[in-house]
C-alpha cells in the first residue's frame, strides 16, 4: 500500500498519454498508488489508464490542458471526487518548439513557457489544498539536462531551468505541510519527443541514438522506466527528508 494508513495514495501524472508520463503512471500504479493519467487528449490518456488496470492497478484518465486554469481546477476536482485526494503530483507534460534565437517565434516561446511553467504552477496550486489537508504531499517536476543550455532550445532550457527554481522555492514554502518538492532532470530518453528532435535536425533516429550513446557514460540512451524509477523514489513515503533537489538521470554526471 502506498498510503501510511493503508489507503492508496492518489497520484496525478500530467502528460501521461505516452513516453515518460506513461512510464511514470505505470510505475506509480505498480507501487500501489491510484493514478490519474492526465493529458490533452483524454482518449490517449485512457490508453495509459487501461494499461494500468490491465496490469492489476487502479487508474482513471482525465483530458485537460495543464495551461488552462479552469481545466486544471476541474481535473483536480474530478480526481478528488472519483479517486480521493491527489497528494502526489508529477508535472511531466511537456512540449518542444525548437529553433535558434533568431528564428524562434514569440508563439514558440510562449507555448513552451505555458506548458512547463504555467502548467506546473497551476497544477501545484490545485493539488496543494489536498496535500495540506492530508499533511502529506509529493511534487516531482520534470526538468531536463537542457536546463544547462542546449542549442536551439532557448525557450525549453529557460523553462526547464525555471522549473528548478520553482522546485526549490516550493520545497522551502511547503515543507511545513509535509510536502516535498523535487525535480528529475532526464538526459536523452527514447520517446516521441526525441524522435521529433531527430526529425527536426534531419538525422536518422537510430543514428542519433548511436551518437548520443557514444557520449553517455553508461553507453546507452535512457528509457521511460529509468525516469519512472527516480520519480518512484521521490514520490515514496520514505523520501520525506529529500526536498528541493534536482536529480539528473542522464547515464552520467551533469552539473
Ligand atoms: P512526449 O512523448 O512528447 O509526451 C509528452 C506528453 O505531454 C504528450 O502526451 C503531450 O500531448 C502531453 N502534453 C503536451 N502539452 C500538454 C498540455 N498543455 N497539457 C497536458 N498534456 C500535454 O514527451 P516525453 O519525452 O515523454 O517527455 C516528458 C517530459 O520529460 C517533458 O516535460 C519533457 O520536457 C521531459 N524531458 C524529456 C526528455 C527526453 O529525452 N524525452 C529529456 C528531458 C526532459 P501531445 O502529444 O498531444 O502534445
- The domain spanning residue 238 has which CATH number? 3.40.50.720
Does residue 194 lie within any of the structural domains?
no
Does residue 201 lie within any of the structural domains?
no
Does residue 138 lie within any of the structural domains?
yes
pLDDT of 3: 58
Q: In terms of residue numbers, what domain contains 39?
A: 10-187+222-248
Does residue 203 lie within any of the structural domains?
no
Residues with C-beta less than 6 Å from any ligand 1 atom: 14-15, 17-21, 39-41, 65-67, 92-95, 115, 119, 142, 144, 186, 188-189, 191-194
pLDDT band with cut points at 50, 70 and 90 for residue 6: low
Continuous segment of H or E residues that includes residue 185: strand 179-186
pLDDT at 147 over 50: yes
15: number of Cβ within 10 Å: 27
Adjacency order of strands within the sheet including 58-63 = 58-63, 34-39, 10-14, 86-91, 137-142, 179-186, 246-249
Give the chain's domain count: 1
| Per-residue pLDDT reduced to its tens digit, 38-71 | 999 999 999 999 999 999 999 999 999 999 999 9
Does residue 197 lie within any of the structural domains?
no
**Distance from the CA of 176 to the center of ligand 1, in angstroms?**
31
pLDDT average, residue stretch 102-131: 98
pLDDT of 10: 98
Does residue 198 lie within any of the structural domains?
no
Does residue 195 lie within any of the structural domains?
no
Does residue 254 lie within any of the structural domains?
no
Kindly state the greatest CA–CA separation across the chain.
55
Active site residues: 156
pLDDT of 1: 47
Give me the DSSP letters along 69-94: HHHHHHHHHHHHHHT--EEEEEE---
Amino acid at each position: 500500500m502506498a498510503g501510511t494508513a493503508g489507503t492508496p495514495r492518489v497520484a496525478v501524472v500530467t502528460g501521461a498519454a505516452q513516453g515518460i508520463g506513461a512510464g511514470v503512471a505505470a510505475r506509480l500504479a505498480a507501487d500501489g498508488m491510484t493514478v490519474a493519467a492526465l493529458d490533452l487528449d483524454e482518449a490517449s490518456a485512457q490508453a495509459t489508464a487501461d494499461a494500468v488496470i490491465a496490469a492489476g492497478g487502479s487508474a482513471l484518465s482525465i483530458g485537460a490542458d495543464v495551461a488552462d486554469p479552469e481545466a486544471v481546477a476541474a481535473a483536480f476536482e474530478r480526481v478528488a471526487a472519483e479517486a480521493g485526494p491527489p497528494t502526489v503530483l508529477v508535472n511531466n507534460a511537456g512540449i518542444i518548439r525548437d529553433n535558434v534565437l533568431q528564428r524562434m517565434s514569440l508563439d514558440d516561446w510562449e507555448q513552451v513557457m505555458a506548458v512547463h511553467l504555467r502548467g506546473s504552477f497551476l497544477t501545484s496550486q490545485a493539488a496543494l489544498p489536498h496535500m495540506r489537508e492530508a499533511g502529506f504531499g509529493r511534487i516531482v517536476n520534470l526538468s531536463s539536462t537542457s536546463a544547462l543550455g542546449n542549442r536551439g532550445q532557448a525557450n525549453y532550457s529557460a523553462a526547464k531551468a525555471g522549473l528548478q527554481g520553482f522546485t526549490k522555492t516550493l520545497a522551502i514554502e511547503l515543507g511545513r505541510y509535509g510536502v516535498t518538492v523535487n525535480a528529475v532532470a532526464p538526459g536523452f530518453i527514447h520517446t516521441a519527443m526525441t524522435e521529433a528532435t531527430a526529425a527536426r535536425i534531419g538525422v536518422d533516429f537510430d543514428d542519433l541514438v548511436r551518437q548520443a550513446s557514444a557520449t553517455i557514460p553508461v553507453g546507452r540512451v535512457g528509457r521511460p522506466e529509468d525516469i519512472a524509477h527516480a520519480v518512484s523514489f521521490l514520490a515514496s513515503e520514505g523520501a520525506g527528508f529529500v526536498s528541493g533537489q534536482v536529480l539528473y538521470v542522464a547515464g552520467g554526471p551533469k552539473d
